[in-house]
Structure 1
């Protein structure tokens, strides 16, 4: 055919990427298996099978925080501190907890007393026997903190669950073993109505237990041997700190269910990101929650904490899905702020109540959408350009 050949894509070497690397992670870092890395990967895997509030009740749309459980000592962040030796004695492997509420959390704003709050924690043990023993011991230890005030509660739908409440107090705690897993939940409502509390506990188990049936438990050896990036996704995300060790909020890949744990409005996020298949985090979120209390802190957290600068990479099913996703993310961009010469890119300043500026940019490359942010516009633009170039260089 007659004509003049032209490049199918731009020359990404000409983009202003500042100091950021545009080469995939595996080109400069070799993953090393370790207990720390394997545990982080196992927790991210588990998070894909842990409920959020919208799986329990549509009104519980807001996330109050997450908590990773990497050691027995971490159990005190979701249960009474006396539960730590129980977790150690029964050789807990790892766990993940997520909090939800019908009140949108805000920094330094007290949770209204009429709010409904839930915390769901899922912990994996070596086998079903140790899980059942741990669930029973968690209950006995928590009940024994105030045995003269607490009262046992029998769940009609889940008679094997271990539950109790304190009459006159609008809270309930419960634990149940399910294979090698232990599911614990703490629930608070506006009024001390036992029927309402037990109804929510049963809704938690109805939503959560089937999810665990689709997740084969891991042995300690299998955990150690988990690979960082079997689908070749983490290598493609902008990685300013050149992190090579997985971390649940810092360097991790999730399905939509796992990604929703990091979102404040999970109902809105589920709709917004419906075209995404996989979600990769890089320096994105803190896996700890600010709170006024300990023990059951996740129920009373102040929302999910996003780091000041980071990146999220989303793989869509196909190019059309990526275009649809890109068009809905950052729906009010400032056309004057888009990075120079980067196709399918846009940026905007996001209103914030904190003392620093917050610019975000979104880029699309084929069936990938990158989302980056920073405290200076030029920096955010360079991050967007670098993410685009990195995707082009990762094919």
Structure 2
């Protein structure tokens, strides 16, 4: 049941973006709104006060902030190959991580996680970018890049050796070593027991770049085009390496001085990550980083450009900072156009200008979506029950209204 709820909420948000991408922004002014008595809003047991984030309170938090910086800096998959314009199939995939035991590593590297952790030193933080070429899994190929930052260049070189050794030891004869064109220092191998799959470990300065290509068409046809897989890895390395080389890691003694939420957008975001239908570490990103965590990066890219989105906060709910109040309204209007499988849903009590809809999932079930704006901010939430989504968007509006 939890997996079904997760899939429904993710499917709704992705479909909302996909079906509204072609709509123009228009020139209408911000509509007049009735005053809202925040005390009258039904927020259930949710907290409706902004939470201010200043400096990190511990080193793990500081490393997460460094991972956000890295996510802002890395190229999007669709910038590596325009075909990779769809979000990964695993919407819950980890983006930021601070330990080698994270699913970001464990889901991509075969072998002993304990062995990895005991033999690799100096790991600081990491970020995952991921994309696929088609919304239908069996028609797609997928590209994941995992950038792991270490204390020294030697740590990164050692990590490349250890990751390769751990995986090849586990896979034995199923790991078929490959030479990546133009990048002989990459330690790459096919996973011969799984058609269309290649892993590459490539040290770049203080980074280890793990590149994984999975071709689901090859998997379905039970064949492997090794040259095509190697070429895709090479293309990815050539796009990501300059970004890693130009990234300036925060000195170790400065990590605790980083601003967690410099634009005060994360503080405006409703915390719903205790809901099993929501995922991941809360974060705040610039436009590029916001597209890294988007459920439809191609469509969102156009919408962000039109609305002047410069910051995205996520804590289970999304908040977008747009150019101005008019752009915020236009962004919400784009994202709440009703299409096939959608029908309007009532707004919550005492918040009549919130826009809500119900997504009718083929085969049964539904998910609810509500969005609202306040000044230059657009916010959106999802839930599997109407009362739940009403309480969430009401609490989210109250947080926006109370933020200074």
TM-score range, shorter chain: 0.7 to 0.9
Shift of 1:386: 2.9
Q: Is the 8 A contact 2:284 2:312 kept in 1?
A: yes
2:286 to 247, 251, 255: 255
Q: What TM-score, normalized to structure 2?
A: 0.75
Tell me the equivalent position of 2:196.
Answer: 170
Query: Matched residue of 1:192: which SS?
Result: coil
Distance in 1 separating the partners of 2:202 and 2:273? 40
Shift of 1:134: 1.4
Distance in 2 separating the partners of 1:39 and 1:22? 28
Shift of 1:25: 1.3
Equivalent residue pairs, number: 351
Q: Is the 8 A contact 1:319 1:367 kept in 2?
A: yes
2:62 to 14, 21, 38: 38
Q: Is the 8 A contact 2:42 2:394 kept in 1?
A: yes
Distance in 2 separating the partners of 1:205 and 1:36? 28
2:310 to 252, 265, 277: 277
Tell me the equivalent position of 1:80.
Answer: 110
Distance in 2 separating the partners of 1:25 and 1:167? 49
Tell me the equivalent position of 2:347.
Answer: 338
Q: Is 1:389 aligned to residue 401 of structure 2?
A: no
Tell me the equivalent position of 2:16.
Answer: none
Equivalences for 1:194-343 in 2 at 5 Å? Answer: 194-239=226-271, 249-274=280-305, 275=307, 276-282=309-315, 284=316, 311-332=317-338, 337-342=346-351
Query: Matched residue of 2:155: which SS?
Result: helix
Tell me the equivalent position of 1:125.
Answer: 150
Distance in 1 separating the partners of 2:396 and 2:388? 12
Distance in 2 separating the partners of 1:40 and 1:352? 35
1:322-362 CA distance string (max 9 Å, x none): 23211211111866612355475211112236976421111
Query: Matched residue of 1:358: which SS?
Result: strand
Tell me the equivalent position of 2:159.
Answer: 134
Tell me the equivalent position of 2:178.
Answer: 153
Tell me the equivalent position of 1:70.
Answer: 98
1:91 to 116, 122, 145: 122
Q: Is the 8 A contact 1:99 1:119 kept in 2?
A: yes
Distance in 2 separating the partners of 1:131 and 1:219? 16
Q: Is the 8 A contact 2:345 2:358 kept in 1?
A: no
1:50-79 CA distance string (max 9 Å, x none): 444323322233313322432222333321
Q: What TM-score, normalized to structure 1?
A: 0.76
- Closer, same or farther: CA 278–14 of 1 in aligned 2, 3 Å: same
Q: Is the 8 A contact 2:345 2:357 kept in 1?
A: no
Query: Matched residue of 2:387: which SS?
Result: helix
1:97-123 CA distance string (max 9 Å, x none): 344333436xxxxx53x6423222111
Tell me the equivalent position of 2:21.
Answer: none
Decide which structure has greater helix share: 2
- Closer, same or farther: CA 158–241 of 1 in aligned 2, 3 Å: closer
Distance in 2 separating the partners of 1:242 and 1:267? 29
Query: Matched residue of 1:176: which SS?
Result: strand
Q: Is the 8 A contact 1:272 1:329 kept in 2?
A: no
Query: Matched residue of 1:93: which SS?
Result: strand
The gaps in structure 2 that reach 5 residues or longer are 1-31
- Closer, same or farther: CA 94–248 of 1 in aligned 2, 3 Å: farther
Q: Is the 8 A contact 1:15 1:342 kept in 2?
A: no
